[in-house]
Structure 1
Amino acid sequence: MKLFLALAATAFVVLPSVQAAKEVFAHVIVGNVRSLDNADWEDNIKLAQEAKIDAFVLNIAQGDDGNEASLQTIFKAAENLNFKVFFSFDYKAKGPWPKEAVLDHITRFGASSAYFKTDEDKLFMSTFEGPDNAADWVDIKTATNSFFVPDWSSRNPADAVGLADGVADGLFSFDAWPNGDTNITTQADIAFQNALGNKAYMMAVSPWFYTNLNNPDFTKNWLWRGDELWDTRWAQVMEIQPEFVEILTWNDYGESHYIGPVREKELGLFATSAPIPYVENMSHDGWRKFLPFYIEQYKTGTAPAEFEEKVAAYYRTAPALACPDGGTTGNNEDFGEVEEPPQNLMDDSVFYGALLTSDKGVTVTVKIGENEQTGTFTTVPANGAGTPGVYRGSVPFGGNNGDVVVTISRDGQVVATAEGGKPLGATCEFDIQNWNAVAV
């Protein structure tokens, strides 16, 4: 859910005085994982650990009959691998959580060695929405010794921070996507920090957004601009320096902002609710490539002294006008936005980023099928060209199609290559456009 800002960001920022350790979490939709077994979860956790993610945020809808089995499996795997998890109680998917049910879950799972705690030894709790039930958390916090950072983004931050006499220890903003054809700004983040004062802020980072689903529970069909979003948002994390970061998401395939692996047995939703299989064979693994660098930079304030140079790339798999738009809108009027044709928000380009010690002597080659283009870096690290960090750019499709390969070379020697994703097609694969992206 996007933030409904009723409060304009002021010209200055009241810096939080919270001295919490910086942590990075990844949001997991538990309703999507009922088919996963222990081996799948051990794989998920190992991938998250490789990416330097500190914990999974387990989004659970009340009354979901798959919750119990999934949670038992997740907690067991996390305990075995010394990984952390915590709850985000979803008050919107299937209605509000009764206070007693929240207490039951915290009582039963909070004692696990895998449950994430703050430096003050408090159980970390979050929500997806639920501001009308804020008063429940007065008793819940007292009974469970919890640190409570909900997402109440349907309220402006000044109102949300005061609910139930200020019961929240911080706030999470779900506002991770831009409005229109420009990059996301930090206006909403600054408004949150100003409203929170010395309470904690949890900032959202997401790589993409496209959804096209229709079932008895909901109908949704829109996109937000994803071009340059992932790396832009991480650069903003460095500016904002929030107490916590939450990645949206590990596995929300329905909204195309997953960074975890695509497992066929998690895609049952598409057989019944989607006009096309817009996630099938659409890997987003490339968006995890730079996470160890970004996370260490966020936690320490400086670029790591040593790291492996890498390249990542992402692109949609057909030009925007190659086939009908499927009724998808760019933006969503339900969030107070002006809807427009989706192609207005997306470029027909291959986007690339290179994690380099320096760009000196570096060349970029982007090959689409048999055509080869030379790329440039249009965005450099905050400290300028020649310094360590992520260098970014893009090249247009240019009417080319075939396998996409991005190569970074220095003084004629190959440094890193990104390849292996679904080919770029000249025509539409399905009867409507797939606005999802491949990230390699």
Structure 2
Amino acid sequence: MRRAKSLGIDAFALNIGVDTNTNQQLELAYESARQHSMKVFLSFDFNWWQNDQAFEIGEMIARFATWPAQLIVDNKTFASTFGGDGLNVSAAKEAAGTPVLFVPNLQVELGLEAAVDGLFNWMAWPHNGRNKAPTTHNNVSVGDGDRAYVHALAGRPYIAPVSPWFFTHFGPEVSFSKNWVFPADLLWYERWSEILALQPRFVEIVSWNDYGESHYTGPLHTLHTDDGSSKWVNDMPHDGWLEMAKPFIAAFKAGAPSPDNYITSDQLIYWYRPAPRGQDCDSTDTCMVSANNSSGDYFLGRPDGWTSVQDSVFVVSLLRGPATIHIKSGGRLHRYDAPAGAFPQEVPMIPGEQSFSVSRGGKIILSGASSKPVLENCICGLYNFNAYGNILTPQSLITSSDIQF
């Protein structure tokens, strides 16, 4: 929570089911938030909650409404959901017995109940309109979703989503088998730029610690149970993504159209997948056998949508002044001039070591080699479409003899 607060994040959504230890865990989370001057709010996950539990949802909101760390907006207890189409929102708010700003994740196509105070749009990635990667004939951008929600809300608050990645690869080892990828590539940078132009009432980062879908932005060393995703998450930090977001968050809060005036030091953020998308892992991958596909989310072998992602190294520079950037991917050198401010770039990803440097006025100001090479093999035997990400700061500067360009 200290790290989140230092980056400008104001509150955590606590995604909850109906486990027997939910109340105990929530009490710990609310108390930790209080100790760190952070706010939290309940988000009811309708993978577990049911539409006929409006009274129970209201009771849960009431239980934590007076805790010091509860997020209060417009003098109302803030609450949200993941899913929940068909929930009687009016009944849930009445059961809470306290003013509630209820901003659930509902489909705008189904219409809005008058009691809904706003909406959260969870679809933070380009898609085909059916929760899978876009195709040539079915391509729905995140911006398309923004426009649909803003139009339907007609002035009511909108929670706009922003997310860096999406990849999940669960096979028959779990009951919720699913195997697909949404194209993200430079989405993290592009989406934050859209946020500054849109200026919604709220922004929600998806997510802090969802390892199973690979869109975690928090530190990997945080203690958590393994749902099987460790096979594509271990040694795959996403360090740097939140640092990239920091000046965008500051700009958003200031109503500014650009993050450039909020960049306080030179940094280079980079990310890439650990293997080319065409790597053949059929003989060892855990998704090469039949599994529960009641959801329609399970596909054999490579994740559905795998051709929509690019074999590239993605870089965003945050610079106080113009500089020259060198990227060496698998022995192939790329050089370009980057302006002051936030600037995105991608270069072809070549197997081998990945290294980076930034120079200004003939002097190297940032340099480093990634600890994760791109391999032409199958990590843990899997098709791993997760991203490895890191950051160069002035503290990571190494000598020119350590890295050759």
Where on the TM-score scale, by shorter chain, does this alignment land: which range?
0.7 to 0.9
Q: Decide which moves more: 197-206 or 85-94.
A: 85-94
Match of 1:147 in 2: 101
Aligned-partner residue type, residue 313 of structure 1? Y
SS in 2 for 1:285: coil
Report the alpha carbon displacement of residue 52 of structure 1 after superposing the two structures with TM.
1.1
Within 2, Cα distance between the matches of 1:341 and 1:168?
34
Q: 1:414 to 1:67 in 2, by over 3 A?
A: farther
2:196 is aligned with 1:238: yes
Measured after TM superposition, the shift of residue 111 of structure 1 is 1.0
Alignment match of 1:394 (pick from 331, 346, 353): 346
Q: Is the 8 A contact 2:117 2:156 kept in 1?
A: yes
Corresponding residue for 1:432? Answer: 382
Amino acid at match of 1:401: G
Unaligned runs of 5+ in 1: 1-44, 378-384
Partner of residue 60 from structure 2, selected from 90, 93, 105: 105
Aligned-partner Cα distance in 2 for 1:389–1:417:
18
Contact 1:312-1:418 at 8 Å conserved across structures: no
Q: Does 1:175 align with 2:123?
A: yes
Counterpart contact for 2:268–2:315, Cα < 8 Å: yes
Letter in 1 for 2:349: F
Could you tell me which residue of structure 2 aligns to residue 50 of structure 1?
A: 6
Task: Report the Cα distance in structure 1 between the residues aligned to 2:61 and 2:117, rounded to whole angstroms.
Answer: 17
Contact 2:58-2:95 at 8 Å conserved across structures: no
Cα pair 1:184 1:229 within 8 Å, conserved: no
Q: Indicate yes or no: 2:221 matched with 1:263.
A: yes
The offset of 1:172, in angstroms, is 0.7
State the one-letter code of the partner of 1:414.
I
CA distance in 2, matches of 1:340, 1:318: 14
- Give the C-alpha shift of residue 195 in structure 1: 1.3
User: How many percent of aligned residue pairs carry the same amino acid?
Assistant: 30
* Residue identity matched to 2:8: K
Post-superposition Cα deviations, 1:80-127, rounded to whole Å, max 9, x if no partner, equal: 111111111112235447233223322222111111111x22111101
1:128-155: CA deviation from partner (whole Å, max 9, x where unpaired): 11121134546437712111111013x4
Q: Which stretch has the larger CA shift, 103-112 or 46-55?
A: 103-112
Measured in 2, the distance between the counterparts of 1:92 and 1:421 equals 38
Output the CA distance in 2 between the equivalents of 1:224 and 1:401.
25
**What are the equivalent positions in structure 2 for 1:280-299 lying under 5 Å apart?**
280-299=234-253
Q: Deviations over 1:326-368 (max 9, x none)?
A: 559xxxx969xxx996442111111100012343xx2111234
CA separation of 1:140 and 1:88: change in aligned 2, threshold 3 A: farther
User: Under a length normalisation based on structure 1, what TM-score does the superposition of the two structures give?
Assistant: 0.76
Cα offset, 1:234, TM superposition: 0.5
Deviates more, 1:429-438 or 1:180-189: 180-189
Return the letter of the residue paired with 2:164.
Answer: P
1:72 aligns with 2:27: yes
In the TM superposition, what is the alpha-carbon distance from 1:258 to its structure 2 partner? 0.5
Structure 1 letter corresponding to 2:310 = D
Instruction: Find 1:213's aligned residue among 170, 173, 188.
Output: 170
Question: 1:386-437: CA deviations, max 9, x gaps?
Answer: 5x53101111123x313x2222222222333465443221322232310101
Q: Secondary structure at the match of 2:374?
A: coil
* Alignment CA distance shift 1:65-1:367 (3 Å): farther
Q: Compute the RMSD of aligned alpha carbons.
A: 2.7
**Residue 75 of structure 2 is aligned to residue 121 of structure 1:** yes
Instruction: Give the secondary-structure state (helix, strand or coil) at the position aligned to 2:44.
Output: strand
Residue type at the aligned position of 2:146: D
How many angstroms apart in 2 are the aligned matches of 1:318 and 1:356? 29
Query: Which residue of the other structure, out of 337, 342, 354, is the alignment partner of 2:317?
Result: 354
Aligned to 2:38: 83
User: For each residue in 1:247-282, what CA deviation from the matched residue of structure 2 results, as whole angstroms up to 9, or x when unmatched?
Assistant: 100011110000011137424211xxx6x7001111
Report how many residues are paired: 364
Check conservation: 2:274, 2:388, Cα contact below 8 A.
Answer: yes
Contact kept, 8 Å, 1:225 with 1:345, in 2: the verdict is: yes
Picking from 277, 281, 290, the partner of 2:231 is: 277
Distance change >3 Å, CA 135–CA 82, structure 1 → 2:
closer
1:282 and 1:317 map into 2 onto residues whose CA distance is 9
Q: Secondary structure at the match of 2:381?
A: coil
Shift of 1:290: 1.6
Cα deviation per residue 1:152-193 (whole Å; 9 max; x = unaligned)? 13x42xx43x22xx1111111111111237894511101111
- Cα deviation per residue 1:42-92 (whole Å; 9 max; x = unaligned)? xxx01111221111000101x212322321221111111111111111122
Whole-angstrom distance in 2 between the partners of 1:225 and 1:309 = 28
Q: Is the 8 A contact 1:310 1:415 kept in 2?
A: no
1:109 & 1:185 partners in 2: Cα distance? 33
Read off the aligned partner of 2:27 and give its amino acid letter. Q
Task: Please report how far the alpha carbon of residue 372 of structure 1 lies from its aligned counterpart in structure 2 after TM superposition.
Answer: 5.0
Asked whether the 8 Å contact 2:181–2:303 carries over to 1, the reply is no
CA separation of 1:389/1:134 partners in 2, compared to 1, >3 Å: closer, same or farther? farther
